[in-house]
Amino acid sequence: MDEFEEILIDLIDEEEEEIEGEDDVKLAEIFRLANRLIRLLEDIKSHELRESASLMLIKEIVGEDKLLLGLASKMLQDITFNHSDDEKYVS
């Protein structure tokens, strides 16, 4: 079994694990997993694969939620036009 298959199996096992507790516990787990995903994305050498994986993650997170879709679109637009560096700019 190669490393990719092991990672997929680990992710499937973790996905079935129910997170119990308050919202702050769930938020901490989301933050931990997001940081892990970002580190894994940064380790991908292929720019095309990294880009595809990033878009798949965004699509998975946004799903059918129109509000999240609008927020993600606005955030990407702000990043594209470098508005995130302007302290006076309000999205």
Largest CA distance in the chain: 52
Q: Is residue 31 part of a domain?
A: yes
DSSP 68: H
Q: Is residue 59 part of a domain?
A: yes
The per-residue pLDDT for range 66-80, each reduced to its tens digit, is 999 999 898 888 888
How many domains is the chain partitioned into structurally?
1
Instruction: Name the residue range of residue 51's domain.
Output: 21-85
Mean pLDDT of 39-66: 89
pTM over 0.75: no
The per-residue pLDDT for range 49-58, each reduced to its tens digit, is 899 888 888 8
Q: Is residue 16 part of a domain?
A: no
Q: Is residue 91 part of a domain?
A: no
Q: How confident is the model at residue 17 (pLDDT cuts 50, 70, 90)?
A: low
Q: Is residue 9 part of a domain?
A: no
Amino acid identity for residue 83 in this structure: H
> Residue 20: what pLDDT?
73
Q: Is 19 in contact with 25 (CB distance < 8 Å)?
A: yes
> Residue 23: what pLDDT?
87
